[in-house]
Amino acid sequence: MSNLEQTYFNRRKKLLGKMNAGVAIIPSNELHTRSNDTEHPFRQNSNFYYFTGFLETNSVLVLVKKTEATEQILFLEEKVPEMELWTGKRLGPNAALKSMNIDKAYSINDFEKIMTEIITGSKNLYINGFELNKTTKSVFNITNRLWKSRKKSSHLPTQIYHLDHLTEEMRLIKEPYEVEMMKEAIKKTVVGHKVAMAKTKPGLNERDIHAVMDYTFKMDMGEGPAYGMIVAGGNNANVLHYIENNALLNDGDLILIDAGAEHKLYASDVTRTFPVNGKFSDIQAKVYNEVLKSQEHVIHAAKPGMTLSELHKIASLSLTESLIELGVLSGDPAELYENGDHKKYYPHGTGHWLGLDVHDQCPYLDDQCNDIKLKENMVFTVEPGLYFPSEDESLPKELRGIGIRIEDDILITKNGNENLTAEIPKTIQEIEKQCKENYLDILEKGI
Active site residues: 37, 241, 258, 269, 348, 352, 359, 383, 387, 405, 407
Question: How many whole angstroms separate alpha carbon 194 and alpha carbon 112?
Answer: 51
Distance (Å) of CA 49 to CA 44, 46, 264: 7, 5, 10
Backbone angles phi, psi at 275, to 5 degrees: -75, 140
CB 245 within 8 A of CB 251: no
Which residue(s) pair with 261 in the sheet?
A: 225
Q: In this structure, what is the dihedral angle of CA atoms 63, 161, 265, 224, given to the nearest 10 degrees?
A: 140
What is the widest separation between alpha-carbon atoms in the chain? Answer: 79
Distance (Å) of CA 174 to CA 50, 262, 355, 370, 413: 11, 16, 8, 21, 11
Rounded to the nearest 5 degrees, what angle is found at the Cα of 256, between the Cα atoms of 251 and 257? 125
Amino acid at residue number 48: F
Instruction: Name which of 363, 447, 13, 412 is nearest 190 in CA terms.
Output: 447
Residue 100's Cβ-side half-sphere holds a number of Cα atoms within 13 Å equal to 24
Question: How many whole angstroms separate alpha carbon 205 and alpha carbon 236?
Answer: 13
User: What distance, in Å, lies between the first and last C-alpha atoms of the chain?
Assistant: 31
* Rg, Å, the chain Cα set: 25
Label residue 163 exposed, middle or buried (CB < 10 Å: 0-12, 13-18, 19+). buried
Residue 437: which residues within 8 A CB-CB, separation 6 or more?
194, 197, 198
DSSP characters over 213-228: HHHHHHTTT---BSS-
Rounded to the nearest 5 degrees, what angle is found at the Cα of 77, between the Cα atoms of 25 and 79? 155
